[in-house]
Structure 1
Amino acid sequence: MQTSRFAAALAAGPVPLDGGLATLLEAHGHDLSSSLWSARLLLDDPQALVSAHREFFAAGARVATTASYQVSVSGFEAAGLSAELADRALRRSVELAAEARAAADRPELLFVAASLGPYGATLADGSEYRGDYGLDVRRLRDWHAPRFETLAAAGADVLAVETVPCLAEVEALCRLLAGSGVPAWLSVTAAGGRTRAGEPVEAAFELARDVDEIVAVGVNCLDPAEVPELLALARDRSGKPGVAYPNSGETWDGVARSWRGSGDLDVAQVPRWLAAGACAVGGCCRVGPDGIRAISRLLAADPG
């Protein structure tokens, strides 16, 4: 497979990613309490998403991660919306991120990552933090296939296959990617050094080793303190460049639909992530433009 533009950037890295899109939208007063989360704005207020992407670019991010994380046919149908509208929303998410890139400084250095979130995210009940779906690899592959195909054809530079909480879903997504020719990064979410479903996280990284389309492997949506050890495992077991974008340190209460704790992402930790193999670094939930600005400046001053 020909080296993608994003893979080439990783080789020259490190690449600063963006932060929590929903975090920034909520800070600007948008109500994301529905089951569609930030995907609702793809329908109701698309320019709010363009503005948020532009804000992260202005903070130094080189990647805009699309608002497609929560979009699926089953999720839209559960909200009384059509499968056709879900497909349109997936494509629109890439178009909006590309619009933001075109308006940014030096767009030729910037990337659009199409977010492919886990099955559990579309249930809107915190299942992505448990991974207890009760679905096998085949059923998960079949569920992901339509949104994968739409995003793969939408023109993004890379797929962000992210916040994957269990081995069955990692395997399903690896099967979709293998042979597709679509560059992607694979990022799992973990706690206590294991997948959210309690499995050996190194097994998830090993599944990615022989998938040429996967250009980076790592972790997101987890406590920052866990990043160095897990990134080292990702590097050793997958043989791929690392990607890391943890939360601020707070934890999500899926029942109360609120964040607990007083997180404060300390960018002084980032050199340890680089030493462990990170070639792309950003933030996930509760990390806004200020955090990304600090990460970007650190990467520019001390590129590993």
Structure 2
Amino acid sequence: MLGVIGRALAAQSPLIIDGAMATELEQRGVDTTNELWAAIALIQAPQSVRDVHETYFEAGANIAITDTYQANIPAFEKCGISHEEAEHLIGTAVSVALEARERYRQHHANADDALAYSFPNYARPLLVAGSVGPYGAFLADGSEYTGDYHLSDTDYRDFHRSRMQILADSGVDLFAFETMPNISEVQALIGLLTDEFPDREAWVSFSLSDSGHLCDGTSLETAVSIADACPHICAIGVNCVQPELVTNAIGHISAVTAKPIIVYPNNGDVYHPDTKTWTRCSDALSLSDLAPRWVEAGASLIGGCCRTSPADIYDLAKALHR
């Protein structure tokens, strides 16, 4: 039986994922230079999070990723927020994404109303994926780009369980295990998904040091084979990587799995985790230029991560659904 991603791909392929949240929040006046990063907006400006989601749906995205990458109960508590309020804020991240989807549907209720690239809205899947960022994101020291942290399987599960439960209870369509640099954490998440959320599915997207290895040094093919063995993992890929790594990474992934391949890289700018700053890359190819190659290589879910915008997603959707 097809899961949520399988059904969506049967209706439209490739599927378009949204782009950066923090970049768009900054454009709306939200200061994300803090340990909570984009999740600070769940406290200060939840309506801005909703508006960003809606803007991406308008741009052609099929999948909105909730603003919960760095939103977990220990992170909120570390900032002086109560456990109960932290739970509420994670639920808020889901509710504003669902509200954005409903607002989009209401605005385009006429079946004859189509996006600029002429894909009819009535046939267009719209999903909300609950972001489950790595433990390294909680550390807020760039560890999601090194994978240099170590917990027991039980401790990883305890860290992720409450956020996943709130995401599931609040109505996400699936989980997004994203920017995963550490294979032990991935194994713990897969175990948690299998044992405690057996009616749910998730995608896994890895953070890479090069096109063939996770940040912790694990072979990408080894990591993919571990994810492939879990029937609850519906797609496997990479995100928050440089665009030039993607084509070769797809080759490593497709050599191991027949599951849908998901890629959503950064825009080509270079991130410096030590200073939390970016160096602009003015000559990087756009997502819309590169995505047809990724489809040809085997990807079927494509979007953008850090520093990408609704304009990038619009161009991407237009390029892939002419």
Same fold (TM over 0.5): yes
The whole-number CA distance in structure 1 between the counterparts of 2:269 and 2:291 is 18
| Contact kept in structure 2, 1:36 and 1:75, CA below 8 Å | yes
> Secondary structure, in 3 states, of the residue corresponding to 1:109?
coil
| Contact kept in structure 2, 1:241 and 1:279, CA below 8 Å | yes
The whole-number CA distance in structure 2 between the counterparts of 1:20 and 1:37 is 12
Opposite residue 114 of structure 1, the aligned amino acid is G
1:121 aligns with 2:137: yes
| Contact kept in structure 2, 1:69 and 1:115, CA below 8 Å | yes
The whole-number CA distance in structure 2 between the counterparts of 1:225 and 1:136 is 34
1:160 aligns with 2:176: yes
The CA deviation at 1:257 is 1.4
Pairing of 1:1-304 with structure 2 (within 5 A): 2-11=1-10, 12-104=12-104, 105=108, 106=121, 109-179=125-195, 180-192=198-210, 193-262=212-281, 264-266=284-286, 267-301=288-322
Opposite residue 33 of structure 1, the aligned amino acid is T
Summarize deviations over 1:125-168 as a string: whole Å, max 9, x none. 11111111122333212211221222122211111110000111
Which moves more between the two structures, 273-282 or 250-259? Answer: 250-259
The whole-number CA distance in structure 1 between the counterparts of 2:59 and 2:48 is 17
Matched length: 300
The whole-number CA distance in structure 2 between the counterparts of 1:236 and 1:181 is 28
| Contact kept in structure 1, 2:270 and 2:281, CA below 8 Å | no
Which moves more between the two structures, 106-115 or 180-189? Answer: 106-115
> Secondary structure, in 3 states, of the residue corresponding to 1:237?
coil
The whole-number CA distance in structure 2 between the counterparts of 1:177 and 1:234 is 21
The whole-number CA distance in structure 2 between the counterparts of 1:67 and 1:218 is 20
The CA deviation at 1:124 is 1.4
Opposite residue 199 of structure 2, the aligned amino acid is G
| Contact kept in structure 2, 1:61 and 1:292, CA below 8 Å | yes
The whole-number CA distance in structure 2 between the counterparts of 1:155 and 1:89 is 14
Percent identity of equivalent pairs: 38
Q: Which runs of 5+ in 1 are unaligned?
A: none
The CA deviation at 1:265 is 4.5
Summarize deviations over 1:32-75 as a string: whole Å, max 9, x none. 11211111111221100111111111111111111011111211
| Contact kept in structure 2, 1:265 and 1:291, CA below 8 Å | no
Summarize deviations over 1:99-129 as a string: whole Å, max 9, x none. 0000113487311111111111112111111
- Between Structure 1 and Structure 2, whose CA radius of gyration is higher? 2
| Contact kept in structure 2, 1:117 and 1:163, CA below 8 Å | yes
> Secondary structure, in 3 states, of the residue corresponding to 1:112?
strand
The whole-number CA distance in structure 1 between the counterparts of 2:157 and 2:270 is 28
Q: Which runs of 5+ in 2 are unaligned?
A: 109-120
The whole-number CA distance in structure 1 between the counterparts of 2:280 and 2:302 is 23
RMSD: 1.6
| Contact kept in structure 2, 1:159 and 1:184, CA below 8 Å | yes
The whole-number CA distance in structure 2 between the counterparts of 1:197 and 1:34 is 25
> Secondary structure, in 3 states, of the residue corresponding to 2:236?
strand
| Contact kept in structure 2, 1:19 and 1:287, CA below 8 Å | yes
> Secondary structure, in 3 states, of the residue corresponding to 1:231?
helix
The whole-number CA distance in structure 2 between the counterparts of 1:37 and 1:273 is 30
The whole-number CA distance in structure 2 between the counterparts of 1:168 and 1:265 is 34
